[in-house]
Amino acid sequence: MVNRAYVDQYLNINANLTPLKIKRPLIKDWQITELSEEKIRSHRGNLGWVLSEKDLVIDIDPRNGGSASFEKLADHFGSFHNTVKTAGGGFHIYLTIPQKYEGSKFKKNLKEYKGIDFLSTGTQCVIAGSKIENKKYKWSIIMYDKETGEMRSGKFCSKEQMIREMNLNISLDHVYRICSGSKVDVSRTKKDSSFLSKYGNIKIEKIDEIIK
């Protein structure tokens, strides 16, 4: 069952949700059916977002060459921020179609972008908070990397995983001090060598989630 907080985030933007069995819609004519909020919340499995003519979701699957294709896509059209990490190690990017192109038909797959699905009206995507093979779809967070001047995203199940996957040169003690503010030189009397000068750009929050 998808956590209520995730469902709220979609319903607050008037997203049309449909019940899924893992990744497949369960009801007939799901593309044009709008269920009540009560029925959506009572479903004990995954949920899909039925995309409207205004929505475009770029679905990158690294298992099928999506990572290289995404780099090519970014080279052509500029950088994107991933919105949702998927259970298969990829990610979804949520975009809004410009008004002049609303209602247009878009190809789901392009041969030059192997491993990427372009999902638009008439399709659905699994929402954040759903689980496949006991792996939860998660919201990504964005953090500022002062060394590169870039925004980096991530949300992780453990501090060790965060340090490894974000390639952070910090220890578990550093993580504790960033989170708690313990032994932090607030006045920065040590200037560039103070803890805040070194790590003040990193914000780490503990987000409690039940992962079954």
**Contacts of 175 by beta carbon, 8 Å cutoff, 6+ apart:** 159, 162, 163, 204
- Taking phi over 0 as left and psi of -120 to 50 as alpha, with beta for the rest, 77 belongs to alpha
Q: Mean pLDDT check: name the lowest of 52-56, 93-97, 122-126, 152-156.
A: 152-156
Query: Does residue 150 have a pLDDT over 60?
Result: yes
Average pLDDT, integer, range 65-75: 89
- 3-state SS, residue 123: coil
Record the tokens describing residue 174, joined without a space: 């550093």
Average pLDDT, integer, range 42-52: 95
**Confidence label for 31 from pLDDT (cuts 50, 70 and 90):** very high
DSSP label of 183: T
Instruction: Decide: 2 and 127 in contact? Cβ < 8 Å.
Output: yes
Instruction: Give me the pLDDT at residue 210, please.
Output: 36
181-189: long-range pairs with CB below 8 Å, 24+: none
Q: Mean pLDDT check: name the lowest of 84-88, 138-142, 154-158.
A: 138-142
Mean of per-residue pLDDT scores for the chain: 81
Query: Does residue 173 have a pLDDT over 70?
Result: yes
Record the tokens describing residue 132, joined without a space: 């496949």
Is the entire prediction scored with pTM above 0.85? no
| CA geometry: angle 135, 137, 49, nearest 5 deg | 135
Instruction: Give me the pLDDT at residue 41, please.
Output: 93
